[in-house]
């Protein structure tokens, strides 16, 4: 029996905890008061659950040390951007196996990641870094248009914009001034590291889920990324798996391996985002954690393999067994995002949506009668299955159209939404 320590888990992470219990392991769960307040994840099923400030290295190290002394920890899993760096530092101080702290720190700061990768000879987009919005215009001349602007220490699509000209860049600057002023205190760290201005690499973006154990690397999945019809910076969901020509796929996997090695990501499953541009694969983001959201469920629907088992094997120091995978078609994960601040309708029936034949899972996070919602808040996620990518994407658009009629909200659509009828 292994002792697996989980820290600050999302709903999909709680499913990993439950899988660990099913596999006969001892499970301890540390979560912060913030995660506890936000949690809609359900029962963790942990043997022991402890509340601790996971943003304090000192407090987290003390809590983990007491746990480790009583029952030695054999694996640690944390996939939450806000606390994974502190977890890595605590593990290093305690001698507990986890991703190297320097690797997590390199990956969590996008500017540092570009600098480390460029120094190692890994192809990265042209970039510049600043902590001052007033310097954007001058730096943009050296980067070139089109470019993307994002916080160096951000996550998700928060404060991320594309600009194709100086005029658009000035509009982005004004948006950022306004949005920075509205940030809650708990999110201020996102802009504390400044902003990255980066060359926009035109091409398909894929994510490589790279398992790394003792120098060995294995690509567990190659997934596609979908964006909104209105803004290519805003991620709308994933396609699992994505079909690539053999040479292109092998080049992307090799590039992801180089990224992990250069950054120092030495143990774990890492989400490496790559743009397939004119000059070949170019890394656009490197996350020191696995893919998020409902992509883990989509992976199982598409391959017949439980991704939680692969995570548990990897963080326990074993290369995961990928020989069991099969091809069961394609799954699209689609976020349901409001286009504007608005109110959900008073009367609706979500069963009409969830019972669509192609819809294999519908997870409601915030669709409640009369509730006020914010623009781009993730209200729900849906998993839609198809024999082809096109059929799964079409099903996702149809579901989105039906849902917005049902709940009385205008929702964000994918690029092919205008081709579909209600």
The number of beta carbons lying within 10 Å of the beta carbon of residue 349 is 9
Q: List pLDDT tens digits, range 4-39.
A: 999 999 888 999 999 999 999 999 999 998 888 776
Locate 272 and state its tokens. 């490496």
- Say if 324 falls within a structural domain: no
- Say if 378 falls within a structural domain: yes
Say if residue 169 is in the same domain as residue 227. no
User: How confident is residue 64, by pLDDT bands cut at 50, 70 and 90?
Assistant: very high
pLDDT at res. 182: 84
Q: What CATH number is given to the structural domain containing 345?
A: 3.90.1170.30
Four-point Cα dihedral 283, 149, 221, 306, nearest 10: 150
pLDDT at res. 419: 37
Q: In terms of residue numbers, what domain contains 405?
A: 330-419
* 41 has pLDDT over 70: no
User: How confident is residue 325, by pLDDT bands cut at 50, 70 and 90?
Assistant: confident
Residues 119-133 as b or e (16 or more Cβ within 10 Å = b): eeebbbbebbbbeeb
Query: Is there a contact between 188 and 138 (Cβ–Cβ < 8 Å)?
Result: no
- Say if 65 falls within a structural domain: yes
Cα-to-chain-centroid distance, residue 207:
10
User: How confident is residue 156, by pLDDT bands cut at 50, 70 and 90?
Assistant: low
Q: What CATH number is given to the structural domain containing 274?
A: 3.30.470.20
Residues 87-117 as b or e (16 or more Cβ within 10 Å = b): bbbbbbebebebbbbbbbbbbbbbbbbbebb
Say if residue 279 is in the same domain as residue 347. no
Say if residue 290 is in the same domain as residue 248. yes
CA-to-CA distance for 143 and 126, rounded, in angstroms? 6
- Say if 103 falls within a structural domain: no
Say if residue 80 is in the same domain as residue 43. yes
**Which positions ≥6 away from 355 have C-beta within 8 Å?**
none
Say if residue 211 is in the same domain as residue 310. yes
Whose CA is closest to 320, among 161, 208, 211, 158?
211
Question: Which has more confidence, 395 or 158?
Answer: 395
What global pTM score does this model have? 0.88
3-state secondary structure of 50: strand
Phi, psi of 330 (to 5 degrees): -130, 145
Say if residue 162 is in the same domain as residue 242. no
């Amino acid at each position: 029996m292994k002792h697996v320590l989980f820290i600050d888990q999302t709903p999909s992470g709680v499913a990993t905890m439950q899988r660990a219990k099913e596999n006969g392991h001892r499970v301890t769960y540390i979560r912060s008061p913030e995660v506890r307040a936000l949690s809609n994840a359900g029962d963790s099923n942990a043997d022991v659950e402890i509340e601790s400030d996971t943003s304090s290295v000192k407090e987290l190290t003390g809590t983990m040390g007491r746990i480790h002394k009583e029952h030695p920890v054999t694996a640690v899993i944390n996939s939450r951007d806000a606390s994974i760096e502190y977890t890595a530092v605590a593990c290093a101080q305690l001698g507990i196996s986890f991703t190297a702290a320097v690797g997590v720190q390199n990956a969590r700061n996008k500017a540092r990641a570009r600098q480390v990768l460029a120094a190692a000879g890994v192809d990265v987009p042209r970039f510049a870094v600043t902590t001052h919005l007033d310097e954007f215009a001058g730096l943009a001349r050296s980067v070139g248009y089109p470019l993307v602007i994002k916080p160096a220490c951000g996550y998700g699509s928060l404060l991320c914009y594309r600009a194709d000209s100086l005029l658009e860049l000035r509009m982005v600057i004004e948006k950022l001034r306004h949005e920075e002023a509205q940030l809650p205190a708990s999110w201020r760290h996102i802009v504390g590291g400044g902003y990255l201005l980066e060359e926009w690499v035109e091409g398909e973006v894929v994510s490589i889920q790279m398992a790394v154990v003792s120098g060995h690397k294995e690509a567990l999945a190659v997934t596609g990324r979908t964006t909104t019809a209105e803004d290519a910076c805003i991620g709308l969901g994933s396609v699992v798996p994505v079909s690539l020509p053999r040479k292109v796929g092998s080049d992307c996997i090799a590039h992801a391996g180089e990224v992990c090695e250069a950054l120092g990501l030495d143990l774990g499953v890492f989400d490496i985002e790559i743009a397939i541009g004119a000059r070949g694969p170019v890394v656009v983001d490197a996350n020191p954690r696995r893919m998020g959201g409902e992509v883990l469920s989509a992976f199982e629907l598409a391959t017949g393999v439980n991704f939680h088992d692969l995570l548990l094997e990897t963080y326990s120091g074993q290369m995961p067994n990928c020989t069991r995978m099969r091809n069961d078609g394609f799954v699209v994960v689609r976020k349901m995002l409001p286009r504007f601040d608005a109110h959900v309708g008073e009367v609706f029936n979500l069963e009409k949506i969830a019972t669509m034949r192609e819809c294999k899972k519908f997870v409601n996070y915030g669709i409640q009668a009369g509730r006020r919602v914010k623009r781009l808040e993730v209200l729900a996620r849906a998993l839609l299955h198809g024999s082809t990518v096109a059929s799964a994407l079409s099903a996702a658009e149809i579901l989105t159209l039906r849902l917005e009629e049902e709940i009385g909200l205008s929702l964000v659509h994918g690029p092919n939404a205008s081709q579909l009828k209600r």
